[in-house]
Amino acid sequence: MEQAGGKASTGTQPLLDVVPDHLHMRTPLIIGSPENVALVESFIQQTPATPTVTQV
Q: pLDDT per position in the chain (56 positions), as tens?
A: 777 889 999 999 999 999 999 999 999 999 999 999 999 999 988 866 666 677 76
Q: What is the pLDDT of residue 52?
A: 64
What is the DSSP secondary-structure string of 1-56?
Answer: -GGGT-EEE-SSSBGGG----STT-----EEE-HHHHHHHHHHHHHS-SS------
In a domain, 52, yes or no: no
Instruction: Return the pLDDT at 7.
Output: 94
Structural contact between residues 1 and 9, judged by C-beta atoms closer than 8 angstroms = no
| Residue span of the structural domain in which 31 resides | 2-46
* Beta carbons within 10 angstroms of residue 7's beta carbon: 19
Q: What's residue 51's pLDDT? A: 63
User: Residue 35 falls within a domain, yes or no?
Assistant: yes
pTM: 0.69
Number of structural domains in the chain: 1
